[in-house]
């Protein structure tokens, strides 16, 4: 089912780190600001600004941050739902490493069979005029992967795989609950037998009890099908449950990455510390001092000089106001973009 890009040219890249399925380097996405009668470009909104990410085969990389920080934009750039302004997105397709940004239409169609998306809203992401059979089988038909009676058989297999009754094949989305609809969306994403899936807030629209079921389903599918996930969420509890490694974003930039347990046990960036302090405590009598960040989130169209976080940081020094921090390597995949990383004693996250 998985095909190889046959066209020789700039799309085929040199190798990337061993074991990696995806490598993002210097990714940028700027949206122009147009003004005046002639709609001239007077500036840019820097939604994603020079981001590097490596996702290993079979792992879940969690991307967390405030709304509007660029998480979803990264996911869309990876799938070429929108075109990046700059940078490279290298993907390992079978035995080749390709740059998604340089693929032509035909090559991109082949690559997308291996890279799928699970949407945030299970209500608006399903066509209400299509049956479950039509929704799940659509990728099979569009990509000419199956034909005739095979389509119905494959659709029933996918329904069983995600925990749906195959007798509901001819029902419409309105007849299902939110959790069941999301299972339909997951089955549709699995139809082309992908290796990599972007989960864009895949459980945020669901009840808490249903969230746990869907998260456990995703983890089971990952083990069975050897999937790799980019899991985008603003919920740190969800990220902690499902992710192997975590990247923390602030206004279009990554500020800290590392193994999930390491980041929750000992954050090294002040913004990560503030996020972790906002996690609800499981014991209502347990007191925790939440860090309330002063001021407003930086404007991505008019970013401050130096560290983007310095106007809200209680550990800010004069250097932070003038010089943009570079990533410091603390070992074990731990990278932190903070001038004072390692010298500050920051509070850990909530107890598991």
pLDDT in tens, 263-291: 999 999 999 999 998 887 776 666 667 88
> Taking the domain 12-35+44-336, which CATH number applies?
3.40.50.300
Mean pLDDT confidence for 339-349: 86
Q: Does position 93 have pLDDT exceeding 70, yes or no?
A: yes
Question: How much is the pLDDT for 4?
Answer: 46
How high is the pLDDT of residue 287? 62
pLDDT of residue 45: 95
- pTM beyond 0.85, yes or no: yes
What pLDDT shows up at residue 345? 86
- 97-155 residue pLDDT tens: 999 999 999 899 889 899 999 998 888 999 999 999 999 999 999 988 888 889 999 99
**For 176-231, how does the pLDDT look when each residue is reduced to its tens digit (9 = 90+)?**
999 999 999 999 999 999 999 999 999 988 888 899 999 999 999 999 999 999 99
pLDDT at 162 > cutoff 80: yes
pLDDT band at 36 (very low <50, low <70, confident <90, very high): confident
Q: At what angle do helices 149-161 and 132-142 cross, to 10 degrees?
A: 120
Whether the per-residue pLDDT at 171 is higher than 70: the answer is yes
- Residue 294: predicted pLDDT: 86
Write down the mean pLDDT value for the chain. 90
User: Which region, left, alpha or beta, applies to residue 13 given φ > 0 means left and ψ of -120 to 50 means alpha?
Assistant: beta
Please name the residues in contact with 292: beta carbons below 8 A apart, sequence gap of 6 or more: none
Are the C-beta atoms of 136 and 191 separated by less than 8 Å?
yes
pLDDT higher than threshold 60 for residue 3: no
End-to-end distance of the chain based on CA atoms, in angstroms? Answer: 41
8 Å CB contact between 10 and 102: yes
- Look at residue 284 in the predicted model and tell me its pLDDT: 65
Helix/strand/coil for 245: strand
* Burial class, 199, CB count within 10 angstroms (exposed 0-12 / middle 13-18 / buried 19+): buried
Helix (H, G, I), strand (E, B) or coil at 91: strand
Return the pLDDT at 8: 41
pLDDT at 32: 95
Structure tokens at 251: 């206004």
* pLDDT at residue 5 in the model: 52
pLDDT, mean of residues 224-245: 94
Percent of the chain topping pLDDT 90 = 72
> Directed axis angle between helix 178-190 and helix 132-142, to 10°?
20
* Domain boundaries defined on the chain: 12-35+44-336
Percentage, residues of the chain above pLDDT 70: 93
Q: How far apart are CA 157 and CA 160, in angstroms?
A: 5
């Amino acid at each position: 089912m998985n095909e190889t890009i046959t066209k020789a040219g700039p799309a085929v890249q040199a190798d990337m780190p061993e074991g990696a399925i995806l490598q993002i380097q210097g990714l940028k996405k700027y949206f122009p600001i147009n003004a005046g009668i002639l709609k001239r470009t007077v500036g840019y909104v820097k939604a994603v600004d020079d981001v590097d990410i490596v996702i290993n085969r079979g792992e879940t990389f969690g991307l967390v941050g405030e709304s509007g920080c660029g998480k979803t934009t990264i996911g869309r750039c990876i799938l070429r739902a929108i075109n990046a302004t700059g940078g490279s997105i290298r993907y390992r397709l079978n035995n080749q490493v390709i740059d998604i940004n340089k693929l032509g239409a035909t090559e991109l169609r082949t690559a997308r069979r291996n890279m799928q998306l699970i949407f945030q809203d299970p209500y608006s992401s399903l066509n209400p005029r299509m049956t479950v059979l039509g929704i799940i089988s659509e990728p099979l038909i569009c990509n000419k992967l199956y034909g005739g009676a095979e389509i119905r058989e494959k659709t029933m297999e996918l329904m069983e795989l995600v925990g749906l009754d195959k007798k509901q094949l001819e029902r419409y989305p309105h007849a299902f609950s939110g959790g069941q609809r999301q299972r339909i969306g997951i089955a549709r994403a699995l139809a082309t037998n992908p290796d990599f899936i972007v989960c864009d807030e895949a459980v945020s629209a669901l009840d808490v009890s249903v969230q746990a079921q869907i998260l456990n389903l995703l983890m089971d599918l990952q083990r069975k099908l050897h999937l790799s996930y980019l899991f985008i969420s603003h919920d740190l509890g969800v990220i902690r449950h499902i992710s192997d490694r975590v990247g923390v974003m602030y206004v279009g930039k990554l500020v800290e990455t590392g193994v999930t347990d390491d980041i929750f046990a000992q954050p090294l960036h002040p913004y990560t510390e503030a996020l972790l302090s906002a996690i609800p405590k499981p014991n209502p009598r347990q007191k925790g001092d939440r860090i309330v960040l002063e001021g407003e989130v930086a404007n991505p169209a008019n970013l401050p000089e130096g560290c983007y976080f310095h106007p809200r940081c209680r550990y800010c020094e004069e250097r932070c106001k003038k010089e943009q921090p570079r990533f410091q390597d603390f070992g074990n995949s731990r990278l932190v973009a903070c001038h004072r990383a390692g010298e500050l004693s920051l509070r850990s996250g909530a107890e598991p």
